[in-house]
Structure 1
Amino acid sequence: MPKIYLGTAGIPLSAKGKSTIDGVKRVRELGLNAMEVEFVQGVRMSIEKAKELGEIARELNVRLSVHAPYFINLCSTDKEKIEASKNRIIETALRAEAMMADAIAIHIAFYGKGDEKTCYELVKEGIGEVLDKSKELGISNVKFGIETMAKETAIGTLDEVISLAKETDKTRVKPYIDWAHTFARQGGKIDYGEIIDRLENELNLDHINSHFEGLENRKGKYVDVHRSITYNTPPFEPLAKEILKRENLSITLICESPELENDALIMKQTLERMGYKFGD
């Protein structure tokens, strides 16, 4: 039986309090077992608070991951912006390490005016520098997840995120799969099984971190506007089937839809209907 960690991107909407600790407690109350801590607008949590959060999450058996700020671009033409981007990744990773999160999701870069190959090389160089600095700071457990992106202006095709892991350090850099983004980037098509096979065979991943949500369709094109998973774009059930086929798979599914826990619970019910049992 695979091991599935399922939860919300940030504090559930039904949490009584609005702190991240309140969010973790509510996740557990709902019968979910994962939460992604959102630093998307900036890293505003102290190391001490991150440690406290991690201890509570561990007590409650809630697996944590973290989303880095959106303001990251390792392909910027402004060197100061690149340095600021690297610092934001490091600051995120320090908190993630303190809270014992397993990985951080990073929107790594936009192609901008440069060509894709030049941008890719800049990103690879920047990641290398982040890895060196993180090692100096004692960051040893958290993985740096390069997120697959929907927008064609961003680095984040499936091939790119796999190659970046291979060509930097695949023990510390990993793809962070946003299933809906990949679906959009591939023109509204996705083969979940093929993607899982590639991650296992090419990178030997022991755990897959991922996001799931629905996307809006505008004039026949899927765009990066998040919708409920009930939009079925992409469909969740085929992914659930592919996950359950794989006895040794370990995966986190973070619901990034606007419906957060409501959709996460639909995902949970779908998996349970197919025979999966979530433990305590």
Structure 2
Amino acid sequence: MVKIYLGPAGVPHSAKKKNTIDGIKTVKELGLNAMEVEFVQGVRMSRETAEETGQVAKELGIRLSVHAPYFINLCSEEKEKVEASKQRILDTADRAELMGADAIAIHIAFYGKMEPEECYQKVKTELGDVIDKAKEMGIKNVKFGVETMAKETAFGTLDEVISISKELNGVIPYIDWAHTFARQGGKIDYGEIIDRLISELGLTHINSHFESLVFRNGKYVDEHVPIDANAPPFEPLAKELLKRDNLSITLICESPELERDALKMKEVLTKLGYEFS
């Protein structure tokens, strides 16, 4: 039977104090078992707080992952921006390691004036350098998750993230199901994606985001809305997961209705026969 870790992207709305540790405690109270720590506006957490956060999560049995800052572009034409991006990834990975998180989600690059293949080679070089530095810093456990992206201007097709994960040790795809759905023109075959992650990369754990997207001017755009919009639908993913053995997955709810929608996802899984321990 698949093992599912489910929770919100960041501190739940219902948490009394809006800090990460209180957020983790609230996640536990809600009956969820995962949380993504959001560094999207910058890595502002001290190393001490990261250690304390990890301790609390471990005691409560909450699986942590971390989202790196949005201001990352390894294919920028400006060297300073590339170097600053690399530092942000390293700072994120450092705090993630201290808190015992398993992976970080990274919006890795925009093609800009580069052809996709040229940007791919640049990402490979720069991210490879980041991974070497991370090893020197003693970062051993955190996986570098290259996120699938909705925008056609961004590095992050399913093929790109699978391919870069094959080439660089310590890199994994961080699957945003809705982004992939949008990038594929409003179509998604969950089973096919899961099969590829297992057969091509040998993954036994998948890190992922789930939310719905807005449909505008004939296409799905990267604007997150509650999962009731069914763009993409959650139930087919739930059914696909429950067919699997020897697999675990983190499902991070990135809907604006953080815990409300995470609990709706839990309800769907429970109705289909999954038991959260």
Question: Does the alignment reach a TM-score above 0.5?
Answer: yes
1:105 corresponds to 2:105: yes
Unaligned runs of 5+ in 1: none
Aligned to 2:205: 207
| Fraction of identical pairs, as percent | 73
Query: For the residues of structure 1 that align with 2:178 and 2:187, how far apart are their CA atoms?
Result: 10
One-letter amino acid of the counterpart of residue 203, structure 2: L
One-letter amino acid of the counterpart of residue 198, structure 1: R
1:1-280 matches, cutoff 5 A? 1-169=1-169, 172-279=170-277
One-letter amino acid of the counterpart of residue 255, structure 2: S
Query: For the residues of structure 2 that align with 1:17 and 1:49, how far apart are their CA atoms?
Result: 15
Please give the per-residue CA displacement for 1:163-211, whole angstroms capped at 9, x wherever unaligned: 0011111xx1000000000000000000000000000000001210000
Please give the per-residue CA displacement for 1:2-58, whole angstroms capped at 9, x wherever unaligned: 100000000000111111001000000000000000000000001110000000000
One-letter amino acid of the counterpart of residue 106, structure 2: I
One-letter amino acid of the counterpart of residue 215, structure 2: N
- Alignment root-mean-square deviation, CA: 0.5
One-letter amino acid of the counterpart of residue 92, structure 1: T
One-letter amino acid of the counterpart of residue 264, structure 2: I
Following TM superposition, by how much is the alpha carbon of 1:249 offset from its aligned partner in structure 2, in angstroms? 1.4
Query: For the residues of structure 2 that align with 1:191 and 1:115, how far apart are their CA atoms?
Result: 27
Task: Give runs of ≥4 in structure 1 deviating > 6 Å.
Answer: none
Please give the per-residue CA displacement for 1:42-100, whole angstroms capped at 9, x wherever unaligned: 00001110000000000000000000000000000000110000000000000000000
Unaligned runs of 5+ in 2: none
Q: How many residues align?
A: 277
SS, match of residue 204 in structure 2: coil
Please give the per-residue CA displacement for 1:103-162, whole angstroms capped at 9, x wherever unaligned: 000000000011111111000001110010000000000000000000000000000000
Query: For the residues of structure 1 that align with 2:271 and 2:217, how far apart are their CA atoms?
Result: 34
Query: For the residues of structure 2 that align with 1:16 and 1:114, how far apart are their CA atoms?
Result: 46
One-letter amino acid of the counterpart of residue 214, structure 1: S
Following TM superposition, by how much is the alpha carbon of 1:238 offset from its aligned partner in structure 2, in angstroms? 0.2
